[in-house]
């Protein structure tokens, strides 16, 4: 017999997905250990699991999948063919409806763009302490998107208002925020998106101790440090309103020792997702605020436990590295609802933080 881990590996379904399909009565294990609750499957169930994975990738409803699996090995395949045909018709109808809705939305967007006047970025001159700008860029750079389909997220937002410069980056799955003080300006709000490579050049130039000078002229941004400078054009895209994504007050806070927590993440248990999916770390939050890594034990349905949340392990490690720069040995993790982002902060500095979206564990 195959263990649930072996079946997950060979079928392309995640372990948590197999648990979900068991509870839904779609793919029930041949035997469940009455003591440990561990699930075991007959060898022939591998074919069913692979078929199930294909049908779910095609978006077939579970009710239909249950009938397909029940009829798959029979001599009369008419029901299976009719279910396939009906699902394809639903997909085609849904695609037609989606195209109509997006056509209407594009028309609304075109109208909105036509009535809006073009935004002219006023000339801006200000100075900022080089170490503070370097620390801010270090805190957010990891969250810049590399998705060519979303060019507006391929840079760092510079949000200048009064005597404050906020730098923000997001790739949809995570967001990083940092704020530094500026001098020499107290005007209205100005926002520009600095491309990732130019932000890297600015970070390299901010390696000294004195102030650096930031200038904006139209769509061109320049950073000067002594007799050195780097400059380039801002992205011609509007950054999303990050204020709508800022963390809400409340929830539970946990202080973690960065070095120990990082070692636990790197060597501890992970949940391997379906093919191409990232490794997940499942964090358990105790009533006293202690954070532990949950093992991928079959009896633990983390997707149903409000005290457990799964996150992309690589993203979490990157956030720890970004915020722990400067020899900080402790960070604060804030947890809300299981579906709410996790906030990672420095205990002595509220001006920088990262948000990580949780990952749903059930199939």
- Mean pLDDT, the chain, rounded, equals 85
* pLDDT at residue 299, rounded to an integer: 41
| CATH number corresponding to 247-356 | 3.10.150.10
Q: Is the dihedral of CA 333, 339, 340, 341 positive or negative?
A: positive
Q: What mean pLDDT is predicted for residues 12-32? A: 89
Measured distance between the N- and C-terminal CA atoms of the chain, rounded to whole angstroms: 23
The Cα–Cα gap between 108 and 31 comes to: 56
Q: Do the first three CATH levels of 124-244 and 247-356 match, i.e. the same topology?
A: yes
Residues 203-259: pLDDT tens digits?
999 998 889 999 998 889 999 999 999 999 999 888 888 888 887 766 788 899 999
Close Cβ partners of 15 (under 8 Å, ≥ 6 residues apart): 4, 5, 8, 271, 272, 296, 298
Close Cβ partners of 168 (under 8 Å, ≥ 6 residues apart): 140, 156, 157, 159, 175, 176, 177, 178, 239, 242
Q: Give the architecture-level CATH label for domain 2-85.
A: Orthogonal Bundle (1.10)
Residues 168-178: pLDDT tens digits?
999 999 999 99
| Tokens describing residue 104 | 């209407």
Residues 112-149: pLDDT tens digits?
655 543 444 568 899 999 999 999 999 999 999 999 88
The Cα–Cα gap between 79 and 326 comes to: 64
Nearest 5°: the CA angle 208, 132, 311 is 125
Closest CA to 86 of 113, 57, 107, 65: 65
Name the burial class of residue 97, with classes exposed (0-12), middle (13-18) and buried (19+) by CB atoms within 10 angstroms of its CB: exposed
* pLDDT grade for 24, boundaries at 50, 70 and 90: confident
The residue ranges of every structural domain in the chain are: 2-85, 124-244, 247-356
CATH class of 124-244: alpha beta
Query: Does residue 25 register a pLDDT over 90?
Result: no
* pLDDT at residue 279, rounded to an integer: 84
């Amino acid at each position: 017999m195959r263990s649930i881990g072996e079946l997950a590996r060979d079928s392309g379904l995640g372990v948590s997905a197999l648990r979900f399909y068991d509870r839904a009565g779609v793919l029930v294990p041949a035997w469940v250990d009455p003591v440990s609750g561990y699930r075991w499957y007959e060898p022939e169930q591998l074919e069913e699991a692979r078929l199930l994975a294909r049908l779910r990738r095609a978006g077939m409803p579970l009710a239909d999948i249950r009938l397909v699996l029940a009829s798959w090995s029979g001599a009369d395949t008419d029901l299976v063919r009719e279910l396939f045909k009906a699902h394809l018709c639903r997909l085609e109808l849904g695609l037609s409806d989606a195209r109509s809705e997006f056509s209407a939305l594009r028309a609304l967007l075109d109208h909105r763009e036509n009535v809006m006047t073009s935004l002219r970025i006023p000339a801006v001159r200000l100075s900022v302490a080089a170490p503070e700008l370097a620390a801010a860029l270090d805190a957010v750079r990891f969250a810049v998107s590399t998705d060519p389909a979303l060019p507006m997220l391929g840079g760092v937002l510079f949000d200048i208002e009064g005597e404050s410069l906020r730098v923000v980056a997001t790739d949809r799955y995570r967001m990083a925020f940092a704020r530094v003080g500026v001098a020499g300006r107290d005007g209205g709000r100005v926002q520009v998106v600095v491309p990732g490579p130019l932000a890297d050049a600015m970070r390299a130039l901010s390696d000294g101790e004195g102030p650096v000078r930031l200038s904006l002229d139209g769509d061109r941004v320049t950073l000067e440090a002594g007799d050195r400078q780097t400059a380039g054009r801002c992205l011609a895209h509007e950054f999303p309103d990050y204020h709508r994504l800022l963390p809400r007050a409340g929830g539970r806070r946990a202080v973690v020792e960065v070095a120990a927590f990082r070692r636990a993440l790197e060597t501890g248990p992970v949940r391997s997702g379906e093919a191409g999916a990232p490794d997940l770390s499942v964090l358990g939050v105790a009533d006293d605020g202690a954070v532990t890594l949950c093992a991928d034990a079959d009896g633990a349905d983390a997707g149903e436990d409000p005290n457990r949340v799964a996150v992309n392990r690589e993203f979490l490690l990157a956030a720890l590295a970004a915020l722990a720069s400067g020899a900080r040995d402790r960070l604060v993790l804030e947890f809300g609802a299981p579906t709410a982002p996790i906030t990672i902060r420095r205990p002595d500095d509220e001006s920088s933080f990262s948000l990580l979206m949780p990952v749903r564990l059930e199939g």
